[in-house]
Amino acid sequence: MKQLISTFVIFTLYLSASSTLYEKGINALEEKHTTEAIQYFKEASKNENAKAMYKLGLIYEQDDNTTEAIEWYKKAKSAGNIKAQYSLGVLSCKMKTYNFLDDFENYAKESTKSVQYDLAVCFSQKGEHKKALKWFTVVAKKGDAKAQYRVATLVTSKNSKLKWLKKSAQNNHKEAQFELGKTLFKAHKFQKAKDWLKKAKENGSKKATVYLKRMKELGL
């Protein structure tokens, strides 16, 4: 019994020391003493402090030291920090290595629509259009105009394309408004085309301005 209590006390002190070092690192960061913060976080990391490992990853990524950033994110993930999955995925997308998309996808399943959108962009960038469409659709169904527009650009069915363009355009996405106006123009629905092109122009679309000028020249 005494041995069990002794082990528990040692473990508690171990955690306390790690937490104290982490807090000192946070304070050093707030005071912009980055080198000092790194030292504290590294000491805390020796005690398997996952938050400290993650902070080191963030610091090195901000410093464009991607090799160190990835190593610390991997350690943080192994120590139980789930945010590291996201950071590994995003960083691998930036580097175009795509080594950690499984981690990224696992994190995205229970995350926010902005994270899910980033994942979809990453799949699109990699050329995995089916997976990109899947995740853009997840976000689009939550009412995100950017995702709705991306779905419209990826679907093959004309009806689906028009449906998602309309949703995005109604949510004030200027590119969707322009594409919808162009699509309606080709279908000879000139007044509706003009209405959407005007909205796109009001939102700053230079292409819509040119298109409207051509319509005027044609007497439409």
CATH top-level class for 1-97? mainly alpha
Q: With bands split at pLDDT 50, 70 and 90, how would you rate the model's confidence at 18?
A: low
One-letter identity of residue 13: L
Listing DSSP states for 9-46 in one string gives HHHHHHHHHHHHHHHHHHHHHHTT-HHHHHHHHHHHHT
Question: How many percent of the chain have pLDDT more than 70?
Answer: 92
What value does the mean pLDDT take over residues 38-58? 95
Q: Map out the domains of the chain as residue ranges.
A: 1-97, 172-220
How many Å apart are CA 81 and CA 101, to the nearest integer? 16
Q: Which of 109, 110, 133 is nearest to 120 (CA)?
A: 133
**Burial class, 96, CB count within 10 angstroms (exposed 0-12 / middle 13-18 / buried 19+):** exposed
Model confidence at 14: pLDDT above 70: no
- Determine the pLDDT at residue 17: 56
C-alpha distances out from residue 52 to 47, 49, 57, Å = 10, 5, 9
Q: Which of 50, 6, 39, 41 is nearest to 23 (CA)?
A: 41
- Determine the pLDDT at residue 144: 98
pLDDT in tens, 78-92: 999 999 999 999 999
Structure pTM? 0.82
Q: Which H helix or E strand runs over 124?
A: helix 113-126
pLDDT in tens, 133-174: 999 999 999 999 999 999 999 999 999 999 999 999 999 999
Q: Which of 111, 116, 125 is nearest to 144 (CA)?
A: 116
